[in-house]
A and B are shown apart, each in its own frame.
Chain A
Amino acid sequence: MTPDKLLYAKTHEWVSVDTAGAKPAGGRVATVGISAFAVEALTDLVYIELPKVGRQVKHGESFGEIESVKAVSDLYSPVDGEIVAVNDALVGHLETLNSDPYGQGWIAKIRLSDETHLKELLDYPAYQKQCAEEGH
């Protein structure tokens, strides 16, 4: 997964929607993580709280936490749907978020119940612009 092909929430979560084949009956699956910008801003990660598989989430709702030495941040679901997988490998290996935030550092997979909110997500250039404004 390369960052330029992903969509982003204003809160720094990235989204990759599985486009392979026809739309499955139960809804497409989106993979969610956090951007390199967010990981770099946090530094010194110490803990991640992953959601439980099976949990229903709405876009904008907090579904987990990421904790650094200095502060704790909520993880916000960028989409509506059901958590179908979480990346347990991250627990105890938070350095993966530093080394590969868009690949091995994925956080959760969500089966989309409603795709309307995908339109509100930023594409890579728009997200980069937001980061540039934030990090002045």
Chain B
Amino acid sequence: MTSHLAHTPLHSWHATAGGRLVDFAGWEMPVQYGSIVAEHEATRKAVTLFDVSHMGRLRFDGPGAEAFLDRTVTRRVAGMKPGQVRYALVTNDQGGILDDVLVYRLVDSKTGATYYQMVVNASNRQKILVWLERRRAAGFGPGGPEIASPRDLTFDTAMIAVQGPKAAALVEPICGAPAIALRYYTAAEMPLIGFAGDPMALVSRTGYTGEDGWELVVPAKRAVEVWRRLLEVGAPVGAQPAGLAARDTLRLEAAMPLYGHELSESIHPFQAGLDFAVNLEGHYFPGADALEKASREPSRVIRVGWKLGGKRVPREGYPVLSAEGAAIGNVTSGTFSPTLQVPIAMGYCQPAFAKPGTEVLVDIRGRHEPATVVELPFYRRGK
């Protein structure tokens, strides 16, 4: 029994449902309930629920929060509209990526005050908390606004992702019209419908699967109730739970980077192809100078996607070679794509070999398998 691992509020539900529980970033999480491919396909064709409560949820209050976040992440936070959600990177002084995060500008439904939420990777929660505290303590210098310490709400809340083309069928009865009205990358607090005490949830039109969907942050004590009700309401459209393995195959098809694979402190945002997540012009944040310089120079490596010809699956760490056998890169994530029915991979390679159509070789456990560079994403949902 792995008793040292953290449990989300849904842990015993997963165990009872036959979820295969594994250690993920210090949490005991369901990697799959049955077939990974079935959970993947259900997300693409119907709707699935993911327990993503292990991700860190940090709340920033007070007058200094906006400027603090603006000077900490690679996207501008100053000027975000209420309800807006932005994908950003937290970088160190060299421009290396400490984490990829979502920043939300929100309105507290009780007080009307503005506050911010940051959702961080489970594996980076402690690192980011320490980093933020160092920067907060350093402050903005004399005369600058007081910056309150963020509150870590990870253990007081649960986060449930409802993902798939039929997601609205679950979210409408439970969150109502305000949730359906949310445009992509917006969020709002709203009361849950049909639950005792009308608990408030933070609902966002976000997700990590490449499908339409919502993510719900709910009080920890109500998590099982909400999860159960979502499944009940979603039964007619085939709603089922999905685990972290399907979450990985889905995000990989959608070419979404994963920290620890495509993103790390030795990678900067431009190498990762995350130019959209960096606002350099007139915007200070750690590493801005280094990134300004990097933006004007050719990169050593850039992120690419490959499709393979055979059936063997490229995996993290496998070397990528030119057709002549020279080492040119490495795989950071790979799987057999359930949607495309071919092995796919993302990784980094020298820019000279990054053009779509370039033929390369992936060293799969000693055998060189042919692969072709393809445009990302591998999969895009229909409009």
Contacts and interface: CB of A to CB of B under 8 A. Distances in A.
Contact-size category for B: 10 to 19
A69 B247 CA distance: 12
Instruction: Classify the secondary structure of A's interface with B.
Output: strand
A69 B34 contact: no
A47 B245 CA distance: 18
B343 to A, nearest CB: 8
B36 A47 contact: no
B327 interface: no
A5 to B, nearest CB: 29
A69 B245 contact: yes
B299 interface: no
B186 interface: no
B249 A69 contact: yes
A49 B35 CA distance: 21
Interface in B14-38: 31-32, 34-37
Given A43-B35, A44-B37, A67 B312 contact: yes
Contacts of B312: 47, 49, 67
B124 interface: no
B315 interface: yes
B35 A44 contact: yes
Contact of A72 (B1, B36, B245, B313): B313
Interface of A: 43-44, 46-47, 49, 65, 67, 69-70, 72, 136
27 contacts: A43-B32, A43-B34, A43-B35, A43-B37, A44-B37, A46-B311, A46-B336, A46-B343, A47-B312, A47-B336, A49-B312, A65-B365, A67-B313, A67-B336, A69-B37, A69-B313, A69-B335, A69-B336, A69-B338, A70-B31, A70-B32, A70-B36, A70-B245, A72-B313, A72-B315, A72-B365, A136-B1
What 8 pairs across the A-B complex have the smallest Cβ distances? A47-B311, A46-B336, A44-B37, A44-B36, A69-B36, A69-B336, A43-B35, A70-B245
